[in-house]
Amino acid sequence: MAAALVLLLAVLAPGAARADQVPLLAWSSRSKLWPPATIGSEGHVVTEPQLQALLGPALDQGPHNVLLFLQEKLSVEDFTAYGGVYGNKPDSAFPNLEGALSDAGSALVLPAVAGEAAGAVPLLLREHLGAGPLHVDPPTLRQLRLNASVPALLLVRLPYATGSSLMAPKEVLTGNDEVIGQVLSALKEEDVPYMALLTAPRPSRVLREVLGTVPGPLGRQLLETGPEPVYPPLQFPSGAFPLLLFWARNLSVARDGVWRDLTDATFGSHATVNLSRSSWGPTEARLVLSYKEVFNSSLTITSHMTNKWFPVSGRNWSSLEWVEMVEGGAAAPVTFNASGVSVPALYSWRCGLLGTMGLLTPRTRPDPAAAHWQLLLHDIQLQAFNVTGRRFSYASDCAGFFSAPVWMGLLPGALLAAVLAYGLHMLLGLRAMDRFDDPKGPSIAVPQTE
C-alpha cells in the first residue's frame, strides 16, 4: 500500500521531472582555487557553460589527482533534511563531508546545478585531466600509488536507495558519508594534493517530507560550510518564546558604493541593533533593525512579512513582501519589493543570497533614491510564523528542488495520488461473488466460515 502510494506519487508529482537540478560540492587541499564568493544561489541554476567556467581553471591549475563521488541521486533537500544544525550536529548524516569541507583549502558549494551539467562532469574531468576514470573503493585506494604529478581520475560510486526497498535515505547517506571519510583518509595517508567533487546525475526526491509535517522538533538547515556560525539566530521578542527568527552569515549595506558590514552589530553578544520597533501578529510581522550609527547617521531596515492562506495549495504561506531602509529621522524611506521569497508558513526560508542585486527590486521604477542603496544578506534564514522555539523549523531553500512553485504543484498532486491510491486499495479489497444469484435456482447458502 505504502509502496503503491509512493509509486503513484512519483508518477503524478508535477514539476518533479521539470526541476531537474542537483547540488555540486567541490573541495581541494589547495587553497584559492575558487574566488571566495562564487555564484550565489538566489534561485539560480548553474548551467553547463557556467559549471565549465568554474571547474575548468581549477582543474587546470589545481591538483591533478581528482576524486569524483558520484551519488546515484542527490537533492539539496538531502542536506536540508539530514544535515546537522547548530545544536544537533551529532545528528548530522554528513560528519565526514562537513569535516572535509571545513578543513579544505578551498571549497565550492553550488546548491543548484542543471542535471545535465552535473551529468557531464565525468566527461569534463576526463577532458581536462587526460585520464580515464578509475573506479575505486576504499580498500583498492589503499593499494593504489598516487603520484602528484601524474593525473588520475578516481571515481567512487555511491548508492542512494538500495533496490526497490525504501531504505531510509538517512541511513544510505550516512553510509555514503562513511565511504567518503574512508576514501579521504586513505588519500591523506598517501599525502598527495587532491581535488574532490560530490554530485549526482539526477535529483533525489525526499518524498517523506511531502505529505508529512515538519520533521522532528529540531530545526534543520543547509549543510554548513566554512566556519561554524558562532552566533545564534536573532529573535524577536527576546526570551524563551520568540515569534520571529532571523539569521545571516553576512549582513551589509552600501550607500553610493561604500559598504558597511552590519553583521557584528546585528548578531551575537556584541550586537547593538535595537529591535524594539518590530511587531508581530498572526498574519503580519515586521522586523525592524535600528542601528544608531551607520554612515554618520542612524539607519533603520524594516522587513515586512505576511502569512496568507492559499486555497490552491491548501496551506498558509509566509512571504517577505518588502524591505525598507530609512536613514536618519526624517529622510524618505527607500523601499524594495521582494519577489519569490515565500515558503509554507510552517517552514523557514533559506537562501544563499538575498539582496538588491537579485530578489529585491526598487518599488517604484525609476527610483533615484534607491539607486544609492544596496543591501546584501549572505546565507540568510528567516522564519516569521509558527516558530516553535529558539531554532528554525525545516528550511526550504530558495534554490531548492522544493521551491515555492514546485510545492504549489506538488501538494494537490500528492492529495490526488492519495485519493487514487485509496480508491485502488478499495478496489483490490473487493471480492468477486462465488455464484451469481439465480432467482429460479436454489437460493445461495452463505457459508458461515470462509
Ligand X SMILES: *[C@@H]1O[C@H](CO)[C@@H](O)[C@H](O)[C@H]1NC(C)=O
Minimum CB–partner distance for residue 150 and ligand X (Å): 5
> Which residue, 127 or 261, has its beta carbon nearer to ligand X?
261
| CA 394/CA 214 separation, integer angstroms | 6
Question: Of residues 322-361, which lie at the interface with ligand X (CB under 6 A)?
Answer: 337, 345-346, 361
> Which residue, 214 or 420, has its beta carbon nearer to ligand X?
214
> Could you say whether residue 386 binds ligand X (CB under 6 A)?
yes
Q: Which of 143, 269, 296, 449 binds ligand X (CB under 6 A)?
A: 296
Q: Which of 194, 385, 394, 402 binds ligand X (CB under 6 A)?
A: 385
Q: Which of 50, 52, 298, 307 binds ligand X (CB under 6 A)?
A: 307
Type of residue at 297: S
Give the H/E segment covering residue 442. none
> Which residue, 116 or 261, has its beta carbon nearer to ligand X?
261
> Which residue, 174 or 337, has its beta carbon nearer to ligand X?
337
| CA 191/CA 174 separation, integer angstroms | 26
Q: How many residues in the shown chain lie near ligand X by CB under 6 A?
A: 27
Question: Of residues 136-195, which lie at the interface with ligand X (CB under 6 A)?
Answer: 147, 149-150
Burial class (CB in 10 A: 0-12, 13-18, 19+), 309: exposed
Minimum CB–partner distance for residue 275 and ligand X (Å): 8
Minimum CB–partner distance for residue 4 and ligand X (Å): 29
> Could you say whether residue 38 binds ligand X (CB under 6 A)?
no
| CA 256/CA 90 separation, integer angstroms | 45
Q: Which of 116, 171, 178, 261 binds ligand X (CB under 6 A)?
A: 261
Q: Output b/e per residue, 329-339; b: 16+ Cβ within 10 A.
A: eeeeebbbbbe
| CA 298/CA 289 separation, integer angstroms | 11
Segment near ligand X (CB under 6 A); pick from 62-70, 166-174, 232-240, 272-280? 272-280
Partner residues linked to 376 by β-bridges = 252, 355
| CA 395/CA 350 separation, integer angstroms | 6
Q: Which of 295, 313, 418, 424 binds ligand X (CB under 6 A)?
A: 295
> Which residue, 47 or 147, has its beta carbon nearer to ligand X?
147
Rounded alpha-carbon distances, angstroms, from residue 68 to 121, 126, 251, 291 = 9, 11, 34, 47
Beta 133-135 vs 152-158: how paired, if at all? parallel
Contact 397, 222 (CB under 8 A): yes
Residue with cell 534564514: 381
| CA 173/CA 204 separation, integer angstroms | 12
> Which residue, 70 or 195, has its beta carbon nearer to ligand X?
195
Q: Which of 18, 188, 308, 425 binds ligand X (CB under 6 A)?
A: 308
The total number of residues written for the chain in this structure:
450
Q: Which of 162, 189, 259, 423 binds ligand X (CB under 6 A)?
A: 259
Query: Of 422, 449, 444, nearest to 433 (Cα)?
Result: 444
> Which residue, 88 or 316, has its beta carbon nearer to ligand X?
316
From residue 55 to residue 94, the character string flagging contacts with ligand X as x (rule: CB under 6 A) and all else as - is: ----------------------------------------
> Could you say whether residue 443 binds ligand X (CB under 6 A)?
no
> Which residue, 121 or 377, has its beta carbon nearer to ligand X?
377
> Could you say whether residue 252 binds ligand X (CB under 6 A)?
yes
Minimum CB–partner distance for residue 361 and ligand X (Å): 6
Minimum CB–partner distance for residue 277 and ligand X (Å): 5
| Residue 245 φ/ψ region, left for φ over 0, alpha for ψ in the -120 to 50 degree band, beta for the rest | beta
Q: Show the 3-state SS of 216-258.
A: CCCCCCCCCCCCCCCCCCEEECCCCCCCEEEECCEEEEEECCE
3-state helix vs strand vs coil in the chain, percent to 5: 25, 30, 45
Q: How many other CB atoms sit within 10 Å of the CB of residue 283?
A: 12
Helix (H, G, I), strand (E, B) or coil at 407: helix
> Which residue, 217 or 282, has its beta carbon nearer to ligand X?
282
> Could you say whether residue 283 binds ligand X (CB under 6 A)?
yes
Minimum CB–partner distance for residue 92 and ligand X (Å): 24
Here the cell at position 169 is 535515505
Contact residues for ligand X (CB under 6 A)? 147, 149-150, 250, 252, 259, 261, 274, 276-277, 282-283, 295-296, 307-309, 316, 337, 345-346, 361, 363, 365, 376, 385-386
